[in-house]
A and B are shown apart, each in its own frame.
Chain A
Amino acid sequence: MSSATTPIVRATQVEQHFGPVHALGPVDLRIERGEFVSIVGPSGCGKSTLLEIVGALQDPASGTVEIDGAPVDGPRRRTAIVFQESATLPWRTVLDNVAFALEVRGIGRKERRDKARELVQIVGLAGFEDHYPAQLSGGMRQRVAMARAMSTEPDLILADEPFGALDEQTRMLMAEELLRVVDTIGCGVLFITHSIQEAVLLSDRVLVMGRRPGTFIDEVPIDLPRPRSHVALSEQSATEAQERIWAQIRSEAEVAMRSER
């Protein structure tokens, strides 16, 4: 049963195949409650596959996933997923996009709109409630998706390169924003990214995934005080962590590139 010591995510010997392609694993993954864990790795290594298995968007070929002590058998109410492309609905206003998850769960109009208005404030979109996604920038659309993810009061957020399509400056700002939000609601996060900097800035722990079939080749704890901002990246432990992760990924990526040629 779930208790304060049950990890929010425990995946054991998870593997995935797509036809003849051995895409992932076997991997073990453990995330504590309120812990922020990032996975970095070369493209095509199976990071997103693992995330989708944890989020029950795919079934693993073998292995088990437990969330909050219960085996995963379908999408879970308190797991929120933030996708890479902004999954906003272009026919809905910002407010109605943020309220969407609550609407699907049958929350009354007044209640969900009040909640959404609050969240729009938190992600810094006040004044844009009645705008449509097409009128927003990429960063603002991703804020909408973040607010929607938060609306269901998740205890676990799965983020699949949520800032991947944004420019460097916006990325950094959004990362700080996410830190603030996660600190506020205190949920566990599984965060997939290409950016080592981003991983180090955000995480309690960074897992480095090797080339396909993805397995974890290193685990780097990040001991930076919280709350953090981009300033933390220039501390010595942060730069050391970045060096260590980059060295691993570099050799993996080089082998992967050579074998694909």
Chain B
Amino acid sequence: MTARSVVPAYVRPTPARVAGMPARGWTLVLLVVMVASLELYARSGAVSRLDLIPVSEMATRSIELLGDRDFVVDALLRSALLICVSFVASALVGVGVAYAMSRYRWIHRAMKPYVNVFYALPIFALYPVMVVMFGTGMVPIILLATLFSVVIVIANSLVGFESTPPIVTKLARSLEMTPSQQLRKILLPSALPDILAGLKLGLGYAIIAVLATEFILATTGLGQVVNRAYNNFNTVDMYAGIVFVSVFALLANLTLSAALSSFDWRRR
């Protein structure tokens, strides 16, 4: 039996290695074990091919999809475009609204309750309204996705704008800065770390919203590829689509996070 440390656990440094392996190694082990057991389970014959296919087939098929021109143009590029447009729209509108709220008290009073309760609204329940008003094209998807992701951007940016130290605001006044100078040289850089955190979440929300909305109201797009395969009992394409979408969302998030973090002065 090993001797117990007399140093309490909460002051001991986190061990770099756990059971002889770095923590990151264990993360990898966990992934490999999960994938391997899924693969074995699917191949064991205990489950119908209609329900589950081996992970290796999912991966192969999703890579094949990349060579399919229809898939790339109609599904991948279209969805990526929708995500980009919704994300940019919610970033611009979100930061703009948050700035207006921090600048004008009455806008703040008027908007705050909506920002607070918006999370509780099942935005996707609006989709029949969207179809009636805008049909099944790109517009309703962009609207829903922007609406869904803008709130988190507003909430985070607002925290950023409001946490500008009062002393810095005084400095701005004593230097006779114009409102536009204050925005560019004081408020935006000061709020930037919080705005970036909001944008990272905003992208995640935009991806979820675009894919989910395509699932229910579009005739094409990544979400629709999965949905169609599912409706046609095409299990291979369905799983391939799911794997593809997951990897795509993960890469998009990681890339944006890394890009945005390089602007974050708190991480320097």
Contacts and interface: CB of A to CB of B under 8 A. Distances in A.
Contact of B174 (A55, A89, A92, A132): A55
A54 to B, nearest CB: 11
Interface string B214-254: 00000000000000000000000000000000000000000
Contacts of B175: 75, 100-101, 104-105
Interface stretch (B15-23, B52-60, B143-151, B185-193): B185-193
Contacts of A90: 265-266
B173 A87 contact: no
B4 interface: no
Most chain-A CB neighbours within 10 Å: which of B167, B189, B192, B266? B167
Given A89-B189, A91-B192, A57 B168 contact: no
A176 interface: no
A104 B173 contact: no
B70 interface: no
Contacts of A101: 175
A81 interface: yes
Contacts of B265: 90-91, 132
A75 B174 CA distance: 6
B167 A87 contact: yes
Interface string B175-200: 11100010001100110100000000
B170 A104 contact: no
A103 B174 contact: no
A105 B178 CA distance: 10
Contacts of A92: 189
B171 interface: yes
B268 interface: yes
A216 interface: no
Given A89-B186, A89-B189, A104 B174 contact: no
Interface string A82-112: 0111010111100000001101110000000
A74 B176 contact: yes
Contacts of A87: 165, 167-168, 170-171
Interface of B: 165, 167-168, 170-171, 173-177, 181, 185-186, 189-190, 192, 265-266, 268
Given A55-B174, A75-B173, A91-B265, 12 more contacts: A56-B174, A57-B173, A74-B176, A75-B174, A84-B167, A87-B167, A90-B265, A92-B189, A100-B175, A103-B185, A104-B181, A132-B265
